[in-house]
Structures are given as structure tokens and as C-alpha cells.
Amino acid sequence: MYKKINNWSIFLTALVSYWIWYTINPVTILNNSIFQIPIKIAVSTVFSFGFFSIIVPILSFVINKCKFIKKIFFSTNYIEGVWIGFFINKKGVALTIQQIEQISDDVSIYGQTFKYNKGNPIFRSLFNSTGTSFDYNKHTLYCTYLSDKLDGVNAGFLTYHFINQEKKAPDMFWGYLANYIYDGKMFFLCKKYHDIEQMPDLQSWINIAKDFYENNKDYFNNIISDENAELRGYIKK
């Protein structure tokens, strides 16, 4: 996203430089002299360089702090918020509640997982990202993570593929999880619940994740053996 910030900064700098070029008035004694244009060029160049150096960190700060501008900046790649869903493998199902925080140059993930436990969820683990890389062209997030369980610590790798509809910010993602303990992949499916600022109680989150799994489990269980099955358009929200 640095390239996009630089593009925004260049655009703002060009506007300001244009304004300076047509409004600056050199000292009266030099008016209408051959030095007027060189002075304008020199002043505009020096100011533009300084303005660009200042506007880049200011723009990054504004994007990170202002939710409205952040949504405009990231557009179809805006993924910050609370995501609720489940992951599944041949050993069973776990519900997950994840919070994704997104700034101009980084993405962080942290959350909790709960064993489905035949419809009576119980706590399973806490986890957080240790490194992330977001491919903004493919809408794909790659992440290494650390999981803190009651019976030990685990680490692994996640891949999230975000689903965009009608050129809007994604409201669902699916992906894979692999770790050092389980020999095989686990399949993820999550939907966006809301922005981080609007946070209900934990029990509400768990119930929504449980309902989301139960609404999709028949189809989802059927495609476990076919990891290339098409998900788009079949998942119930």
C-alpha cells in the first residue's frame, strides 16, 4: 500500500505546487524581471520536496486513525473488523472469532477458537499473527501465527482468500490452515460480523459462529474431500 500512499502524496504535492506557481509573488523589485520565473521554479521545487516528505507520514497517520478515510483508501481490500466462522478437518470442528486490524503497511490478526462440542462450544485456544503479507491484487492474506492452548503451544500458517462481490469490500473469506501438530490441512470459512468498534458480548459471537456452521455444515462436509470445489454462491450467510 506504500505505492498507493505515494501516489496520493504525489497528487496532493502536484496540486499544492500548481497553486504556488500561480499565486507566489516574488519580491516587488524582481517583478517583471527575467528572474521571476527561475525564482518561482526554485521556490516550487524546494517547497514540493519538503511538502512531499511531510505529507507521506501525515497521510499514513490519517489513514490509520480515520475509519472513513481508511475504508476509502483500502476500498475493495478493506478487511478490518470482526470475522466469525469455523474451521474443519477429519478430526472435528472448531468455531473461531477473529479480529483483523489493518493499517497502511501491516495487517494483524488475533482471536479465539472454541470446540464445537456437539453444539455446546467450549474454549479451545487463543491465537495471534506473528507475520502477515497481503496480496492486494489477489485479495489473499498469508499469515504465520502462534496458538496458545490449554495443553500447550502450537504454531502454523494460514491462507485467507477474501470474497468480493460487486466491487465492494469483502464480507467473507475461506482458506487453509496448517500447523506443526496436525498432519494435514484444516479448512476455514468466515464471514464479517461488524467493525471492531461495535463489539457485543462473547456469548453472542459464539452463538453466531455456531449458527453459521450449522447453516453450512452439510454442504461443507460434502466438499472436504474435494478441496477445489467452488464455494462462491453456495455459502449461506
Give the tens place of pLDDT for each residue, 102-125. Answer: 987 789 999 999 999 888 999 989
What is the Cα–Cα distance from 80 to 195, expressed in whole angstroms?
A: 7
pTM across the whole model: 0.74
Three cell numbers written together for 80: 478490518
Greater model confidence, 165 or 157: 157
Task: Supply the pLDDT for residue 164.
Answer: 83
**141 sits in which H/E element:** strand 140-149
Residue 147 has pLDDT above 70, yes or no: yes
> What integer is the mean pLDDT of 208-225?
76
Residue 232 lies in a domain: no
Alpha helices in the chain (DSSP H): 2-23, 36-65, 67-74, 202-223
Residue 17 belongs to some domain of the structure: yes
Residues 43 and 100 grouped into a single domain: no
Assess whether pLDDT exceeds 60 at residue 172.
yes
Same domain for 86 and 57: no
**Count of other CB atoms within 10 angstroms of residue 125:** 19
Residue 166: partners with Cβ closer than 8 Å, 6 or more residues away? none
Residues 100 and 52 in one domain: no
Instruction: Please indicate, yes or no, if residue 233 is contained in any of the structural domains.
Output: no
**In the chain, how many domains are there?**
2
Same domain, yes or no: 117 and 211: yes
Q: Is residue 199 domain-resident?
A: yes
Q: Which domain holds residue 150?
A: 76-223
Is 235 a domain residue?
no
Same domain, 128 and 156: yes
CATH number, domain with residue 219: 2.40.128
Q: Is the pLDDT of residue 216 over 80?
A: yes
State what percent of residues in the chain have pLDDT above 90. 27
**Does residue 2 surpass a pLDDT of 50?**
no
Position with higher pLDDT, 97 vs 65: 97
103 and 133 housed in the same domain: yes
Q: Round to whole Å and give the CA distance between 9 and 53.
A: 9
